[in-house]
């Protein structure tokens, strides 16, 4: 019976050069489900794993579910009269919150997100102040 030889790998005479670390390049691509949403507000909770759930919505007044336009029964011309259907509750100013998407963030990710938002808010405020300054100089 032939048994395979147990050979250890050859040991080089001199040590290998240290691996060269290259810069990391991130390539940004949009997935097929990528969407851009307008956000008027958010609603959130913290779950049992201490993750932050944020749900983003757009907000608008309730609109009629339909409109019936009246026409003259003799000539078929529009009379200028209409009846709205599904009129909102007369006791309340009804606002629709149409939830568009939700995200779940770890605390570490939420902190980075907050930092990014703080940076952008500072930049936008500076841009606004600069624009006002230029407008004042034109006067």
pLDDT of res. 117: 96
Does residue 45 lie within any of the structural domains? yes
Q: Are residues 129 and 96 in the same domain?
A: no
Asked if 61 contacts 93 with a C-beta cutoff of 8 angstroms, the reply is yes
pLDDT in the model for residue 70: 92
pLDDT at position 89 is 77
Tally the domains of the chain.
2
Residues 79 and 68: their CA atoms lie apart, in Å, by: 11
Residues 99 and 124 in one domain: no
**From CA 92, how far away is CA 80, in angstroms rounded?**
28
Is 59 within the bounds of a domain?
yes
Do 48 and 91 belong together in one domain? yes
User: For 15-41, what is each residue's pLDDT tens digit?
Assistant: 677 778 999 999 999 999 999 999 999
Structural domain boundaries, residue 121: 107-139
Task: Name the pTM for this structure.
Answer: 0.64
In this predicted model, what pLDDT tens digit does every residue of 48-104 receive, in sequence order? 999 999 999 999 988 888 999 999 999 989 999 988 888 777 888 889 999 999 999
Quick check: is 131 in a domain?
yes
Q: Is the pLDDT of residue 137 over 80?
A: yes
């Amino acid at each position: 019976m032939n048994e395979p030889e147990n050979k250890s790998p050859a040991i080089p005479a001199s040590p290998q050069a240290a691996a060269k670390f290259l810069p990391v390049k991130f390539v940004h691509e949009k997935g097929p489900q990528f969407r851009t949403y307008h956000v008027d507000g958010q609603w959130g909770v913290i779950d049992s794993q201490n993750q932050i759930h944020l749900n983003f919505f757009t907000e608008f007044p309730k609109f009629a579910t339909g409109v019936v336009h009246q026409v003259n029964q003799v000539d078929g011309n529009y009379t200028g009269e209409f009846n709205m259907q599904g009129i909102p509750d007369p006791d309340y100013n009804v606002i629709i919150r149409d939830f568009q998407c939700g995200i779940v963030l770890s605390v570490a990710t939420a902190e980075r997100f907050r930092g990014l938002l703080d940076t952008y808010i500072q930049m936008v405020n500076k841009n606004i102040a600069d624009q006002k300054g230029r407008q004042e100089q034109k006067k």
